[in-house]
Chains A and B, each alone.
Chain A
Amino acid sequence: MPVAEESSAEEPSAEDARAEEASAEAPPAEASARRAVEAVWRIESARIVATLTRYTGDFALAEDLAQEALAEALAGWPAHGVPASPGAWLVAVGKRRAIDGWRRAARQDERYAALARELDEAVDASAPPWDPDAIDDDVLRLVFIACHPVLAREASIALTLRTVGGLTTKEIARAFLVPTATVQQRIVRAKRTLAAAAVPFEVPSREEYPRRLSAVLSVLYLIFNEGYAAAAGDAWMRADLAREALRLARVLAALVPREPEAHGLVALMELLAARFPARLDANGDPVLLADQDRTRWDRVLIDRGRRALARADALGRGRGPYGLQAAIAECHDTAASVADTDWGRIVLLYEALGRIAPSPVVELNRAVAVSMAEGPATALRIVDGLMAEGRLAGYGLLPSVRGELLVRLGRAAEAREEFARATELTGNVRERAVLEGKLRELG
C-alpha cells in the first residue's frame, strides 16, 4: 500500500491490517461477519474513542488504541463470534493496549509500571464500558475536538467521519475521491496538530462556545455538500455521504438540544435531501430545481425537516444562517411548482440571510428570487451591482444568471455573450452541455 513518506513511521499498523482485510477475497460468511464488526463499529466508535480519551487523557493515543481494538475484532470475531457486549469488549482491548504501551515505557520508568498494574486490575470486559449519564458529554467533547479550529477543514472532515461517524479510512477516501493514503495522512497530521496545540478534551467555555459550535456545524455542512453538490464520482456513495452528514447532524442536535442552529442545520439537510430522488435524470444528469419531478421528493424527509425547523424556532432565539436557509428550502419543498412558490417570502429570507451572513453568492440567489417575485429588470440591477463589485469574478453562475435575465428582457445578443462567458468558466462537462444548448436556442 502506498503510504506517504511522512506518515509511514507513525501510521499504526492496525490501519494496514484493516485495509488488507477489507480488500481480501473473503468467503460470504466471513464477509458478513466483517460487516457485522463494521456495524458495531459504526454504532460504538464515538463512545469508544471518547471513553478511551477520558481513560488515557490523550485523544491521539485513544484514536490509535480504538483502531487497534477494531483490527483485533476484525481478526477475531469472524471466527469466534461477536462478544455479548461488543462495545465493552472493544474498550477493554483498547485499555489493555494502553496498559501494554505503558508497561513498555515502564522499563524506563517505575511510575508507569505502578500505573499499569493498577489499571490492569481495573479492566473488566463484562462491566459496562461507560457511564450512561456521562457518555453523551464525552461524545460532545469528541465532536468539538474533531472540529477544532486549529485543524484544516479536510482534516476535520476526515477525523469527524472516522471517529464520530465510524467510517473506515477507505470509505472516506472513496467518498471524497482521494487515495486512502491521503486520508490516512490527513488524520495523522490532524492528531499531531491537536497534540501540538495541546487541545483539551473539554466542551468549550461559554465565551468560545458560539464560535466553536459554528465550526462543528460548518464541518457537518461541508460533508453534506460534498455528497449533495458533487457531479463527479460514484453517485450512490456520494448520496450516502450526505445521509451520513444528516445522521451526524441529528446526533449533534440530540447532544445540544438547546442550540437552534443545530436543529436548523438538521432541517436544512432534511429538506435538501428530500429532493435527492429527483435531482438526476435517467442518464444520471443533474436536473434543475425548476424541472424536477416534485412528486418524487421524499415526503417523510420534508416533514422531518419542517419539524426540525419548528424545534429551532420553538427555542425562541430567532433563526441563524442554517435556520434561514432551511426556511428557504422549506418554501421550495412545500410548493407544488415554480409558479406556486412564494417568491416574495424567499426574497425576505435571502435579505435576512444576507444581513447576518453577507456573501455575494447569497446576493446572487436573492437576485434570482427577486426576478421571480418582481421581474427580471429589478433583479438585473442587483446582478449588475455584483458585477461592478467584481467579487464573483470567475464564478460561472454569475454570467449564467445574468444571461437568463437578459433572455427574459429580450436582450438576446447580450445574453449570448453571458452564456459564452459562463461556458468558458465552468469546469463541469454537464453544465457546459446545458449552457451550449442555451446558446443554440438563442440562434
Chain B
Amino acid sequence: MPKFMLIMRATDAAIAASEQADFAAVIEAMGRYNESMIKAGVMVGGDGLAPEPGLIVDFAQTPPVVSDGPYGETKELFNGFWMLEVPTIEEAAEWAKRAPLAPGNRLEVRRVTGPEDFPADNEWVQKDEEWRAQGLQ
C-alpha cells in the first residue's frame, strides 16, 4: 500500500502564536490526533522539528555556503511530518484535514517513493535495497 508524507509548514506568525497557546492543550490535541490515526491502523511514523533556527547549506555557489537560518524572510518553516499508509492520496488528505492546526499552518501531502519508482537493474538501487534489508538505513 502506498505511503504518504504529511509535511507540516508554518509561518513565523503561526509559530509565534502557537508559543502563546496552552502547551498542555496543544500536546493533548496532537496526541488525540495521532491516537486516532494509530487506532485506524494508518500511521506508520512521524516527528517534529525543533523550532530554533538551524543551518542552511546553500548550493548557489561551489563549494556550498553554510549560514544560520532560516529566518523571517522564509515565509514558512518546515516543522514536522507524519507518515501514513493509506490506499489513496485523497485518504491521506482527509487525515491531513483533521490535524489540529491553526491558521498559518499548511500540510503538504506527498507520496513516498518505493522500489517501483526506480530501475531495478541499477547497481545503486540494488545496494539501497540491501542497506534497507540490513537495517542500515
Residues of A within 8 A of B (CB): 32, 35-36, 38-40, 42-43, 136, 240, 243-244, 246-251, 254-255, 277, 294-297, 299-300, 303-304
Whether B38 lies near A254 (C-beta < 8 A) is yes
Q: List residues of chain B with CB within 8 A of the CB of A255.
A: 39
CA distance A300 to B114 in the complex (A): 12
CA distance A251 to B42 in the complex (A): 9
Whether B91 lies near A42 (C-beta < 8 A) is yes
Known contacts A277-B115, A296-B129, A299-B135: A251-B90 contact under CB 8 Å: no
Whether B94 lies near A43 (C-beta < 8 A) is yes
Known contacts A246-B41, A248-B41, A296-B115: A39-B91 contact under CB 8 Å: yes
Known contacts A299-B135, A300-B44: A35-B39 contact under CB 8 Å: no
Residue on A with the closest CB to B120? A282
Whether A240 lies near B115 (C-beta < 8 A) is no
- Size bin of chain B's contact surface: 20 to 34
Residue on B with the closest CB to A86? B94
User: Is B60 engaged at the interface, CB distance under 8 Å to the other chain?
Assistant: no
Beyond A136-B39, A294-B133, 6 additional contacts (C-beta under 8 Å) are: A32-B90, A39-B91, A43-B95, A243-B1, A254-B38, A254-B41
Whether A36 lies near B94 (C-beta < 8 A) is yes
Whether A43 lies near B40 (C-beta < 8 A) is yes
CA distance A303 to B137 in the complex (A): 13
User: In whole Å, how far is A69's beta carbon from the nearest beta carbon of chain B?
Assistant: 17
The secondary-structure label for the interface of chain A is: helix
User: In whole Å, how far is B51's beta carbon from the nearest beta carbon of chain A?
Assistant: 28
Q: List residues of chain A with CB within 8 A of the CB of B44.
A: 300, 304
- Could you say which of A39, A251, A303 has the most chain B C-beta atoms within 10 Å of its C-beta? A39
User: Is B58 engaged at the interface, CB distance under 8 Å to the other chain?
Assistant: no
For B28-53 the 0/1 string (1 means CB < 8 A from A) is 00000000001111101000000000
CA distance A322 to B115 in the complex (A): 30
Q: List residues of chain B with CB within 8 A of the CB of A247.
A: 40-42, 85
User: In whole Å, how far is B40's beta carbon from the nearest beta carbon of chain A?
Assistant: 6
Whether B132 lies near A39 (C-beta < 8 A) is no
For B68-100 the 0/1 string (1 means CB < 8 A from A) is 000000000000000001111011011100000
User: Is B108 engaged at the interface, CB distance under 8 Å to the other chain?
Assistant: no
Known contacts A32-B90, A36-B93, A38-B90: A250-B41 contact under CB 8 Å: yes
Q: List residues of chain A with CB within 8 A of the CB of B87.
A: 42, 240, 243-244
Whether A40 lies near B94 (C-beta < 8 A) is yes
Q: List residues of chain A with CB within 8 A of the CB of B88.
A: 35, 38-39
For B98-123 the 0/1 string (1 means CB < 8 A from A) is 00000000000000000100000000
CA distance A43 to B39 in the complex (A): 11
Whether A296 lies near B40 (C-beta < 8 A) is no
Q: List residues of chain B with CB within 8 A of the CB of A296.
A: 115, 129, 133
Nearest 4 Cβ contacts at the A-B interface: A250-B41, A247-B41, A39-B91, A39-B90
Subset of 7 A-B contacts with CB under 8 Å: A36-B90, A40-B94, A42-B91, A244-B87, A255-B39, A294-B133, A295-B133
Whether A299 lies near B90 (C-beta < 8 A) is no
User: In whole Å, how far is A436's beta carbon from the nearest beta carbon of chain B?
Assistant: 29
Whether A295 lies near B129 (C-beta < 8 A) is yes
- Could you say which of A32, A249, A294, A295 has the most chain B C-beta atoms within 10 Å of its C-beta? A295
Q: List residues of chain A with CB within 8 A of the CB of B135.
A: 299, 303
Q: List residues of chain B with CB within 8 A of the CB of A248.
A: 41
Q: List residues of chain B with CB within 8 A of the CB of A42.
A: 86-87, 91
Whether B38 lies near A297 (C-beta < 8 A) is no
CA distance A355 to B48 in the complex (A): 48
Q: List residues of chain B with CB within 8 A of the CB of A240.
A: 1, 87
Whether B132 lies near A299 (C-beta < 8 A) is yes
User: In whole Å, how far is B137's beta carbon from the nearest beta carbon of chain A?
Assistant: 8
Q: List residues of chain B with CB within 8 A of the CB of A32.
A: 90
Known contacts A243-B1, A251-B41: A43-B91 contact under CB 8 Å: yes
Whether A39 lies near B133 (C-beta < 8 A) is no
User: In whole Å, how far is B126's beta carbon from the nearest beta carbon of chain A?
Assistant: 8
Residue on A with the closest CB to B42? A247
CA distance A249 to B40 in the complex (A): 10
User: In whole Å, how far is A264's beta carbon from the nearest beta carbon of chain B?
Assistant: 16
Q: List residues of chain A with CB within 8 A of the CB of B90.
A: 32, 35-36, 38-39
Whether B94 lies near A251 (C-beta < 8 A) is no
Q: List residues of chain A with CB within 8 A of the CB of B130.
A: 295
CA distance A246 to B42 in the complex (A): 10
User: In whole Å, how far is B120's beta carbon from the nearest beta carbon of chain A?
Assistant: 8
Q: List residues of chain B with CB within 8 A of the CB of A299.
A: 132-133, 135
Q: List residues of chain B with CB within 8 A of the CB of A254.
A: 38-39, 41
